[in-house]
Structure 1
Amino acid sequence: MALVETFWKTGHKITGHDLDGSLSLGYRRFRAFFGTSPLVCLVAWDILFNARPRNSTPEHLLWALMLLKRYSIETFNATLIGVSEKTFRKWSHIFINLLADMPVLNWEQRFRNAPRDASTFISLDGTDFKIMKPSEFDPKWWSHKFNGPGLRYEIGICIRTGDIVWAHGGVPCGEWPDLRLARNAIVEDLQPGEKVIADRGYNDQRYFDLPNGHADQQKKQILARQETVNRRIKEFCCMNYRFRHALYLHPRFFHAVVNLTQLMIENGEPLYPVDF
């Protein structure tokens, strides 16, 4: 049975850190290679108990985390681990797909179960991710946020709990402005009278509650916390660097990272509370 110590020791075989060395340095190295803590690794491993291959090991999960966090080229990863590129690709992609599909983090279910003790219970923001330039230029891919081709997603945060309760998208940035993307999905799931706190990119007062000058400091604080989540997600280099893999894989990587981010929120790294 895997323990937190299992991931701690296995991780340090990869990072090269001496287990008898500095604990704080060891933790920083672990986080730098895998993007999270040994505890969250164990939580994810246990959640995947019925889904992961029976011949898989904790090391295979760490390979996937290393690909998500460092996003180094395949040759480098395989050489560092001491396996073939084919073996590294096989197991890292198996676990990225498993992380993306973790059943306890089903977004539709989390959205339905979010505390609805007010007509405005969720904040929403769109975020763009860089991709390789398509072979033929098409403005539908263009993101004004970094002046290059990208994919757009939206992320929703429960105002009361600080949990991620919505993740949707993977569409061309230029073709899908924030408001169109929201109307495509989350608006349909709102109950009558419910609204979402969002920035001025969502200019539809039927569904969105927008900050209005200095009087709305609470809403601005809520949206600032939303940016904290975007930053945490982009601490994984696969979401910060230009995505080199096939485009159909981007949503898999994205949802794997979002699920890991939520697991970290639940296991020792919560977002700061806000009053509303």
Structure 2
Amino acid sequence: MAAIIEPYILKPSYILRAGLKACHVDDVIQDRRCQATNVRVFKAHFGRHPLHLAQVWRDLQLFGIMTVEEAKEKKSFRGFMLANNFLRLYESEDVRNARFGGNYDYNRALAWDFVGRIASLKVHRIRCPTTWPVRLGASADGTQLRTNEPRDEEMRRNPKNYAYKYNFAGLNYLIVLSLWTNHIWFASGGDPGSTHDMTITRQEFVDMVPDGCRVIADDAFTGKTEREKSIFAVSNNLDAPAVKEFKGRAKARQETINKRLKDYESMSKPFIYGIEKAKLCFAAVITLIQYSIEDTSKFGEPLYCL
């Protein structure tokens, strides 16, 4: 029988106070402000509520991505906060090190280490069930994120990297949401910007859809095979007004996720650290968003119900 892991827990109140102190908001100022203001400033620097970051910290240990012994080391918490700050604000190293202090190389290594660890939670937190509770169970949409043009030995600009949304190089991702729960069921790993949404879907997601189940999507997901046509419920002029409204609300939930994704500066600005690290950051950010949308308490940010 496997031993039960007793994680080294950090309270949200500790993460809030320590995070704000790292941003030069000292104890006197924190005590003078109301809790809501402190949380708002914290989220502006680190992206998510301290409660959700506390849950991420716990899960890193429960899923074996970080040992309990590592969690007790001061450098681990520092790396964790550096990673979240980098994902949220995407600042230059000069600006980030002026805030956190310390050695450039040391902070850089810590930040990327914990970006990778947070990204590793994606396979545990974002999973498509093998059986769906209802036949019409999900919605899907693609989103493009801008990157610098990857180096190519043969051509300066490779058309496969072209992202039409930005008229520049980028990566295309597919995101699938559960219609009836606050869960992201699937998020692709990142394909070259010119890759069509349906191509990604055909290669990575179609086989996950149980027979007889359907997915709401836009016209880009018009299928070629009979199975694809039976899976995707796209716009139809013959739809009743209530059906059109339902599809519109499902698509609006997708746009909400896209907006929250791009609230992170590392997702909305051109990414300069290479394709593989861009994919790593996407995996980390989409996982962090999952923690906040599944929380239906007053601290969470759940999607509105259909």
TM-score clears 0.5:
yes
Q: 1:98 aligns with which of 117, 130, 152?
A: 117
- Asked whether the equivalents of residues 122 and 287 of structure 2 are also in contact (C-alpha less than 8 Å), the reply is no
Q: TM-score, normalised by structure 2?
A: 0.84
- Asked whether the equivalents of residues 33 and 70 of structure 1 are also in contact (C-alpha less than 8 Å), the reply is yes
Q: 1:159 aligns with which of 176, 179, 183?
A: 179
- Asked whether the equivalents of residues 77 and 88 of structure 1 are also in contact (C-alpha less than 8 Å), the reply is no
Q: Give, in whole Å, the separation in 1 of the partners of 2:278 and 2:123.
A: 21
2:214 is matched with which residue? 195
- Asked whether the equivalents of residues 233 and 257 of structure 1 are also in contact (C-alpha less than 8 Å), the reply is yes
1:90 Cα deviation after fit: 1.2
Q: Does 1:61 align with 2:80?
A: yes
State the superposition RMSD in angstroms: 1.7
- Asked whether the equivalents of residues 105 and 259 of structure 1 are also in contact (C-alpha less than 8 Å), the reply is no
2:52 is matched with which residue? 40
Q: Give, in whole Å, the separation in 1 of the partners of 2:247 and 2:273.
A: 37
Between Structure 1 and Structure 2, whose CA radius of gyration is higher? 2
2:302 is matched with which residue? 270
Structure 1 unaligned regions, length at least 5? none
Q: 2:133 aligns with which of 112, 117, 121?
A: 117
- Asked whether the equivalents of residues 43 and 49 of structure 2 are also in contact (C-alpha less than 8 Å), the reply is yes
Where 1:112 maps in the other structure, the secondary structure is coil
Q: Does 1:246 align with 2:274?
A: yes
Q: Give, in whole Å, the separation in 1 of the partners of 2:186 and 2:10.
A: 30
- Matched to 1:221, the amino acid is R
Where 1:206 maps in the other structure, the secondary structure is helix
Where 2:188 maps in the other structure, the secondary structure is strand
- Asked whether the equivalents of residues 195 and 208 of structure 1 are also in contact (C-alpha less than 8 Å), the reply is yes
1:223 Cα deviation after fit: 0.6
- Asked whether the equivalents of residues 169 and 181 of structure 1 are also in contact (C-alpha less than 8 Å), the reply is no
Q: Give, in whole Å, the separation in 2 of the partners of 1:104 and 1:187.
A: 18
Q: Does 1:26 align with 2:38?
A: yes
- Asked whether the equivalents of residues 16 and 50 of structure 2 are also in contact (C-alpha less than 8 Å), the reply is yes
2:13 is matched with which residue? 5
1:105 Cα deviation after fit: 2.9
Structure 2 unaligned regions, length at least 5? 1-8, 224-228
1:134 Cα deviation after fit: 3.5
Which stretch shifts more, 45-54 or 161-170? 45-54
Q: Give, in whole Å, the separation in 2 of the partners of 1:4 and 1:241.
A: 29
